[in-house]
Chain A
Amino acid sequence: MGSNDLQKQAPNIVVWVLLLALPLWLPYVGGYMELGSRVVVLALAAMALNFLLGYTGVLSFGHAAYFGLGAYGAGMTIRYLVPSTGVGLLVGTLVGAVAGAIIGPMIIRLRGVYFAMVTIAFAQVFYFIAFRWNSVTGGDDGLTGWTRLPIHLGFTTIDILHNPVAFYFLVLAVFAVAVGVMAWLLRSPFGRTLIAIRENERRARFLGIPVDQHIWISWTISCAVVSVAGALYALLNNFVDPRALYWTQSGDFVIMAVLGGMRSFWGPLIGAAIFVVLQDYLSSQTENWMSFVGLFFVLVVMFFPRGILGIIRRKVAS
């Protein structure tokens, strides 16, 4: 490995060391394990969104729908069908991915603000279904009466229910797989094609690239990964409610991606960490935390449009 390679790999190494060692250092900075899991879960959602937003150049403002579908998919599977954490995760992911794949063809021809608006509007359908279908989803009160379950591996049992550190590592393992797949895809010819579409769609089209088809695949992958995050989110809380599907949740994902830096792979992780910690702090300090979160949106847009990693990269370059 040359020094150039090392330089390229440095951010990855730093991120993974910090994440793997999180249970060791988090208590010293005043955090608690659930908060760590929350950051990783929401970071996965924001990174999934960024696969579409930052690398394909398509603005989705409705990702909460697939996040919520993953959450309800996991929760309802465990509650009604199979009492197994693994099956719940799998079903949750499938539900979100399939919904994304079906809705995709209706929206992929749209661009820019129009795409954003249609994705927001579509997300509301699932919100109303979760909200209205009381008997199955628990309506406004949310889906209760279930918990995540210990994982039996045959030779040993991992008690992810009572041991928050064990659950954190489950989350991290799933995160690693999902993020690994996205990173691999982005490095493949397919991923390079997505970036080409982002940079100049018309040229990509003239080169004979089936642009709509690529956007559809990218959209579906993004939805699938965000529903993985949603399923993990349900397991984390042992609870799902319609707010996981509400349009404000979609906005949270977008601001995480923008705050961290849309043009960098790890940006949304940093954005998610800052956002989650800030929200956690604000909601414990003031009843009007919504105003502060709103103000935070405004400040980020006005002063940090490139995101934190974008700024750092600029500084390094100059």
Chain B
Amino acid sequence: MTQVVLFNVFNGLIVGAFYALMALGLSLIMNLSGVINFAHGGFLAIGGYLAFTLMPYVGFWGGLVLAPILTAVLGLIVERVLVRRLYGRDPLYSLLLTFGLAFMFEDGTRFIWGAQSLPYQVPGWLLSPLSSDYFFLTGYRLFMVVIVALAVAGLFYILNRTRLGMRIRAGTLDLETVSVLGVNVRVLRNMNFGLGIYLAGLAGVLAVGQLGLQPTIGSSLIMPSFVAIIVGGLGSLPGTLLGGLLIGVASGVTTVFFPSATEAVMYVMMAAVLLVRPRGLLGEEGRF
């Protein structure tokens, strides 16, 4: 029993790490530009498929490095051509735009790579269990946790220690003042969007190794990311991280005791948080 619970907690932690990685990107974009990026899941899927396509040429490691970067470049272009025009308008419009993009991405990946699930090979030595007692502790799973941890650490490093990060944080609080102080806000928002999409691409590459490669992978991961943001608190990146991990573990544990409620449990958590603490666990008072 302990093993089963541990197994599911660990599983939940990994899924939660995906949610968190995706939700962090969503949060970045939402905090600075007020855009809910519905196409985030589409970017995630593209990241995964790019890694799959690149693998024969650059190998697993090359794909892990290159695919998120290419995805981010696509994100920069989308922001530059489409999303940028909607800043300052009712958030309704950017919502609808990214909603349409999500449709196009999902259908586009289906068109290019087919609707069938594709096999994605991770290096063999990563797949073997590390311990015979804890069979579920394969190298790949630990590896994913390490990569996510590195990515999150990297993100917080950028935000707290670099000039770009400081500008992003300042812009989140008061974009107008940042602009008046001489920062090119257009470039700032563009870079920030790219950073968010990079995280989606990275989550995509990691997720396909675990969940398999199919066009709907994006739309199945985006809703939990929203829940992660709401539970953690809108506007707070540590909150988003916490929210993602929490709902992942909660779903994992629920799988043991009440499998058919696996998906529903995170929404129950969300309702509870909204009732008791509408701003979310780590959200700031009065921001939304």
Q: Do A and B come from one complex?
A: yes
Interface residues of A (CB under 8 A from B): 53, 59, 61, 106-107, 109-114, 116-118, 120-122, 124-125, 128-129, 132-133, 247-248, 251, 254-255, 258, 288, 290-291, 293-298, 300-302, 305
Contact residues of B between 142 and 192, Cβ < 8 Å to A: none
B260 in the interface (beta carbon within 8 A): yes
Residue numbers in B under 8 Å from A124 (CB-CB)? 223, 263, 267
B76 in the interface (beta carbon within 8 A): no
The answer to whether B82 touches A298 (Cβ under 8 A) is yes
Residue numbers in B under 8 Å from A301 (CB-CB)? 86, 93, 96-97, 100
The answer to whether B288 touches A293 (Cβ under 8 A) is no
Selected contact of A291 from candidates B103, B227, B264, CB within 8 Å: B103
Asked whether A113 and B100 contact (CB < 8 A) given A128-B264, A132-B263, A258-B92, the answer is no
Residue numbers in B under 8 Å from A111 (CB-CB)? 288
The answer to whether B34 touches A113 (Cβ under 8 A) is yes
The answer to whether A125 touches B111 (Cβ under 8 A) is no
A65–B107 CA distance with the chains assembled, in angstroms: 24
Task: Please tell me which stretch of B7-15, B66-74, B127-135, B270-278 contacts chain A, meaning at least 4 of its Cβ atoms lie within 8 angstroms of it.
Answer: B270-278
Residue numbers in B under 8 Å from A294 (CB-CB)? 99-105, 107
What is the interface residue range for chain B against chain A?
Answer: 35 or more
Selected contact of B226 from candidates A121, A129, A293, CB within 8 Å: A121
The answer to whether B104 touches A291 (Cβ under 8 A) is yes
A300–B100 CA distance with the chains assembled, in angstroms: 10
Q: Provide the main secondary structure of the chain A interface.
A: helix
A161 CB to closest chain B CB, in angstroms?
Answer: 34
B108 in the interface (beta carbon within 8 A): yes
B30 in the interface (beta carbon within 8 A): yes
The answer to whether A117 touches B230 (Cβ under 8 A) is yes
The answer to whether B103 touches A297 (Cβ under 8 A) is yes
> Can you sample 19 A-B contacts with CB below 8 Å?
A107-B274, A116-B91, A117-B229, A118-B274, A120-B226, A121-B223, A121-B230, A121-B267, A122-B267, A122-B271, A128-B267, A132-B263, A288-B111, A290-B107, A293-B100, A298-B82, A298-B97, A301-B97, A305-B93
In the complex formed, the residue of A with least CB distance to B275 is A106
The answer to whether B92 touches A59 (Cβ under 8 A) is yes
Q: What 0/1 readout, one digit per residue, does chain B (258-288) give for beta carbons within 8 Å of chain A?
A: 0011011001101100110010000000001
A291–B108 CA distance with the chains assembled, in angstroms: 7
In the complex formed, the residue of B with least CB distance to A59 is B92
B88 CB to closest chain A CB, in angstroms?
Answer: 12
Residue numbers in B under 8 Å from A302 (CB-CB)? 82, 85, 97
The answer to whether A133 touches B260 (Cβ under 8 A) is yes
Asked whether A118 and B230 contact (CB < 8 A) given A288-B107, A298-B100, the answer is yes
Q: What 0/1 readout, one digit per residue, does chain B (76-95) give for beta carbons within 8 Å of chain A?
A: 00000010011001111101
In the complex formed, the residue of A with least CB distance to B235 is A114
Interface residues of B (CB under 8 A from A): 30, 34, 36, 38, 82, 85-86, 89-93, 95-97, 99-108, 110-111, 223, 226-227, 229-230, 234, 260-261, 263-264, 267-268, 270-271, 274-275, 278, 288
A247–B95 CA distance with the chains assembled, in angstroms: 13
The answer to whether B275 touches A297 (Cβ under 8 A) is no
Asked whether A305 and B89 contact (CB < 8 A) given A121-B226, A121-B227, A291-B111, the answer is yes
Residue numbers in B under 8 Å from A298 (CB-CB)? 82, 97, 100-101, 104
A280 CB to closest chain B CB, in angstroms?
Answer: 17
The answer to whether A295 touches B274 (Cβ under 8 A) is no
Task: List 11 extra interface pairs beyond A112-B34, A288-B107, CB under 8 A.
Answer: A53-B92, A106-B274, A113-B91, A116-B91, A118-B274, A125-B264, A254-B95, A295-B100, A297-B101, A305-B89, A305-B93
In the complex formed, the residue of A with least CB distance to B288 is A114
Residue numbers in B under 8 Å from A295 (CB-CB)? 100, 104
B35 CB to closest chain A CB, in angstroms?
Answer: 8
A315 CB to closest chain B CB, in angstroms?
Answer: 21
In the complex formed, the residue of B with least CB distance to A290 is B107
A297–B95 CA distance with the chains assembled, in angstroms: 10
B214 CB to closest chain A CB, in angstroms?
Answer: 15
The answer to whether A293 touches B103 (Cβ under 8 A) is yes
The answer to whether A297 touches B96 (Cβ under 8 A) is yes
In the complex formed, the residue of A with least CB distance to B91 is A113
